[in-house]
Structure formats: structure tokens, C-alpha cells
């Protein structure tokens, strides 16, 4: 999720700080490549953010395609002032926290008082909220590899509460590929004190992988098992209300093209001048073993099915790339060509956005010594 106005203000606000305080390392980023036994899928990761940098699967013709966007130069994950969150683990709390404020127990009061009120880094919308864990979230921390095999890698991160959250959180993430085109990512985290935790994996998909002259995801078929979207205010912070998707552009329950007939009605939905989506769908969760989100490439025939234990998904169609002139990966025709608007869709499996300021939902996102946090998502890639 990101708003193009945010990108500009965030850039202006933080670029000098980043240049000063985060020096790119003068050693190479460590890349770990994992491959399924049947070689149907290969994924590459760096320790920074436990980030996926490439994901290779075969298209309908048997050619290998890298189906996630990003950088060839991994240093950009740390230094890019636009900070688009290309495919890392996001934490300690994904998405926006209203006014960077919450209390435990949670309350609707915008100016809570009491001993357990917390203020997190205001790194978004010119200081009006916290986004994706704060100024230096989990995506810009260097995780430690604790285990590695030919088909899996496990990273560990210890979050020492320096973005204003309470308690120290120790998190492990395992990425594992298996035969049949499966990638499974699972997270477990424990905290020394009561704290909100909400993780996501911020993967930007383009299943056509920029082949055959296709450069955006408007021709992708998307199906989302959710009849409600969390309503947002003018700065994309949840109001506490829900929007019923029926008869709105948000209705992907039966599956439709992202750029289908009601695409024009998405103008300004993701911010003034922004066309597309940056919203949190709540899954209906009525059928256990079935995928909650499905995405299909128009040309490649590649199909993605997402199985998750999460209650919701943020869906972001990446309009603001239009402003960034970001070189594509070589595998996508870069660096001469750049990523245009809607070059990918981020499908972020997570909890209800900002439930820590909306107690009326009855969603408990406070974890602690007695309540460990778990997150698991399986991505199945196949050809239709």
C-alpha cells in the first residue's frame, strides 16, 4: 500500500535523513536461492527484510518467468527514498496506524490517556500516521539466517522496540518451496510485553512478467473471496466502517479483470488523482481449503492461488510507479525500460487494517508472553 502523494512527501521528508543515517553497506547483499525438488519454482531472498528478490516459475510455453517486480540492485531496498516495499516481510505492524497512536487495551479515543498509550514513528502522510512499522521497519532490518537447505531458508529478527512499540519481539520467518509450484512463507513471533503485531509479506505480482508487450496487470484476472472492504478516510486511514462490495468496483468475488469495465470508476479511490486500489478486503472465510485470492496472467497463462490463515488482504495496484521512472529488472526489459503505473499488484495477506484503533470490530491484535503471533501463507503457481 502506498499513496503517490505520500511518496512525494515521504521522499521530501526523509531523503536527507536516510542519506545521513543509513549508509549502504560496502559489501554485497547476501542472496539465498531455493529451488523445489521438481524445479517448478525457484525463489531468491536477501537477509535485509527477509525479502524475496526474484520468483521464477514456468509459463504455459515452459519458459521461466520472474513474476515479481523489484530491483536488480539490492542496495536499493535499503536506500530508495520512494521505499515501495518490494517483497519484504513487513512489521511489527503492517499498514497504517492512525496518528501513530494506540493504547492497550485498545480504544476508539483518538487522544487516549493512561499508562499504556504508545506513539510510533509518524513516517507517512506528512506525519499523520505510522506506515509499515515506522521509519525503519522490519523490511529495512538485516535479519539473520538461522537455517538453510536447498529448498528453504529461515531468518530471525529481534525488534528492540525502537519505533515506539512496547516490548521486544523476536520473529522467525521461513520461506520454503516445494514440488508442484508451491511457495510457503510462515512467521512466528513472541513478545516480552503486550504489543500489537501484524505482519504481511508485501509481494508485488506481475504474472505476465512483461512478455509479449504487456507491461501492466490491467489484463490480469483477479478473484477475491471478500464481500467487505474497510472504509478509508481522506488519508487512507480506516474509519471503522465497512463498504459492502456489491455493485462497486471492489467486487472481485466472481473474478474479473483488474482493468475491467468499472476500472474507470476507480479514479481517486487510492488518493486524489490515483486510479486503482489500495484497500483492505476482509475475507469471508466460508470455505476452508480453497484459495482466498486467485490471480491469472493474460498472456503467460500463469495462475497464482493464495491460501492463508489471515483474515484480510490489502490489495494495492501500484499507481504511483507512474511518477518514479524506476528501471525494470533485466528480466523485465530493464534497465532501459521502466515500471509504469499498475506494473504489478501487491496482494498483502494480513489482519484487519488498524484494528488497534477500532475496538468495535472485536479483533484482538495484541500479542505478548502468553500469546505468540503466527502467520502463514501458501502461494501455488501453475499454468491454467
Give the CA-trace dihedral at 199, 66, 81, 341, to 10 degrees. -100
Q: Which one, 68 or 237, has the nearer CB to ligand NAG?
A: 237
Sign for the CA dihedral angle at 10, 239, 163, 116 comes to positive
Q: How far is the CB of 76 from ligand NAG (least distance, A)?
A: 5
Q: How far apart are CA 129 and CA 101, in angstroms?
A: 8
Q: Which one, 73 or 376, has the nearer CB to ligand NAG?
A: 73
Q: Does 142 bind ligand NAG (CB under 6 A)?
A: yes
**Which helix (H) or strand (E) segment is 154 a member of?**
strand 152-159
Q: Which one, 142 or 383, has the nearer CB to ligand NAG?
A: 142
Q: Does 20 bind ligand NAG (CB under 6 A)?
A: no
Q: Does 334 bind ligand NAG (CB under 6 A)?
A: no
Cell of 23: 549508509
Cα distances (angstroms) measured from residue 28 to each of 53, 75, 158, 360 = 14, 8, 22, 47
**Which helix (H) or strand (E) segment is 173 a member of?**
strand 169-178
To the query of whether residue 348 is one of the catalytic residues in this protein, the response is: yes
Q: How far is the CB of 169 from ligand NAG (least distance, A)?
A: 19
Residues in contact with ligand NAG, counted by CB under 6 A, come to a total of 20
Nearest to 177 by CA among 205, 153, 193, 155: 153
Q: Which range, of 23-31, 160-168, 225-233, 310-318, touches ligand NAG by CB under 6 A? A: 23-31
Q: Which one, 231 or 265, has the nearer CB to ligand NAG?
A: 265
Q: How far is the CB of 40 from ligand NAG (least distance, A)?
A: 28
Choose, by CB under 6 A, the member of 64, 75, 186, 211 that binds ligand NAG. 75
Helix, coil or strand: residue 319: helix
Q: Can you tell me which residue has the cell 537477509?
A: 47
Q: How far is the CB of 201 from ligand NAG (least distance, A)?
A: 19
**Which helix (H) or strand (E) segment is 158 a member of?**
strand 152-159
Q: How far is the CB of 44 from ligand NAG (least distance, A)?
A: 14
Residues 6 or more apart from 76 whose CB is under 8 A from it?
none
Choose, by CB under 6 A, the member of 9, 22, 29, 235 that binds ligand NAG. 29
Q: Does 9 bind ligand NAG (CB under 6 A)?
A: no
Q: How far apart are CA 355 and CA 197, in angstroms?
A: 11
Nearest to 93 by CA among 382, 375, 383: 375
Residues 6 or more apart from 12 whose CB is under 8 A from it?
none
The pattern of x and - marking residues 97 through 136 that bind ligand NAG according to CB under 6 A reads --x-x--------xx-------x-----------------
Helix, coil or strand: residue 21: helix
Taking CB under 6 A as the criterion, which residues in 34-73 touch ligand NAG?
Answer: 47-48, 73
Choose, by CB under 6 A, the member of 62, 261, 288, 362 that binds ligand NAG. 261
Q: How far is the CB of 184 from ligand NAG (least distance, A)?
A: 23
Of the residues 83, 132, 175, 202, which is catalytic?
A: 202
Taking CB under 6 A as the criterion, which residues in 181-240 touch ligand NAG?
Answer: none
Please give the DSSP secondary-structure letter assigned to residue 68: B
Q: How far apart are CA 50 and CA 27, in angstroms?
A: 17
Residues marked active site are found at 202, 348
Give me the residues that bind ligand NAG (CB under 6 A), please. Answer: 24-25, 27, 29-30, 47-48, 73, 75-76, 78-79, 99, 101, 110-111, 119, 142, 261, 264
Amino acid at each position: 500500500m502506498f499513496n503517490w502523494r505520500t511518496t512525494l512527501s515521504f521522499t521530501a521528508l526523509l531523503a536527507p535523513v536516510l542519506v545521513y543515517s543509513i549508509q549502504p553497506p560496502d559489501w554485497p547483499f547476501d542472496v539465498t536461492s531455493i529451488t523445489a525438488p521438481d524445479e517448478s519454482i525457484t525463489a531468491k531472498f536477501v537477509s535485509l527484510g527477509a525479502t524475496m528478490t526474484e520468483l521464477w516459475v514456468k509459463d504455459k510455453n515452459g519458459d521461466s518467468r520472474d513474476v515479481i517486480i523489484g530491483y536488480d540492485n539490492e542496495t536499493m531496498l535499503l536506500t530508495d527514498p520512494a521505499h515501495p516495499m518490494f517483497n519484504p516481510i513487513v512489521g511489527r505492524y503492517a499498514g497504517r496506524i492512525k496518528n501513530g497512536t494506540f493504547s492497550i487495551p485498545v480504544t476508539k479515543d483518538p487522544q487516549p490517556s493512561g499508562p499504556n498509550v504508545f506513539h510510533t514513528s509518524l513516517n507517512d502522510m506528512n506525519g499523520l500516521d505510522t506506515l509499515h512499522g515506522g521509519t525503519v521497519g522490519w523490511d529495512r532490518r538485516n535479519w539473520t539466517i538461522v537455517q538453510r537447505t536447498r529448498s528453504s531458508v529461515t531468518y530471525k529478527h529481534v525488534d528492540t522496540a525502537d519505533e515506539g512499540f512496547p516490548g521486544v519481539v523476536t520473529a522467525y520467518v521461513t520461506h520454503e518451496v516445494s514440488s508442484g509450484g508451491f511457495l510457503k512463507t510462515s512467521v512466528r513471533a513472541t513478545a516480552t510485553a503486550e504489543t500489537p503485531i501484524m505482519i504481511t509479506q508485501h509481494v508485488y505480482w506481475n504474472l505476465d512478467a512483461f512478455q509479449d508487450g504487456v507491461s501492466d496487470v490491467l489484463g490480469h484476472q483477479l478473484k477475491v473471496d471478500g464481500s467487505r472492504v474497510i472504509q478509508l478516510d481522506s488519508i487512507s486511514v480506516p474509519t471503522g466502517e465497512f463498504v459492502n462490495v456489491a455493485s462497486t468496483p471492489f467486487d472481485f468475488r466472481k473474478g474479473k479483470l483488474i482493468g475491467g469495465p468499472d476500472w474507470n470508476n476507480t479514479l481517486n479511490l487510492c488518493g486524489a488523482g490515483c486510479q486503482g486500489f489500495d484497500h483492505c478486503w476482509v475475507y469471508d472465510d466460508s470455505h476452508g481449503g480453497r484459495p482466498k485470492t486467485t490471480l491469472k496472467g493474460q498472456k503467460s497463462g500463469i495462475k497464482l492461488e493464495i491460501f492463508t490463515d489471515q483474515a484480510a488482504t490489502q490489495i494495492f495496484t501500484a499507481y504511483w510507479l507512474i511518477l518514479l521512472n524506476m528501471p525494470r529488472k533485466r528480466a523485465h526489459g530493464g534497465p532501459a525500460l521502466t515500471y509504469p503505473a499498475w506494473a504489478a499488484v501487491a496482494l498483502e495477506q494480513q489482519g484487519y487494517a488498524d484494528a488497534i484503533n477500532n475496538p468495535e470490530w472485536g479483533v484482538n491484535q495484541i500479542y505478548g508472553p502468553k500469546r505468540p503471533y503466527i502467520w502463514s501463507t501458501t502461494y501455488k503457481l501453475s499454468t491454467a
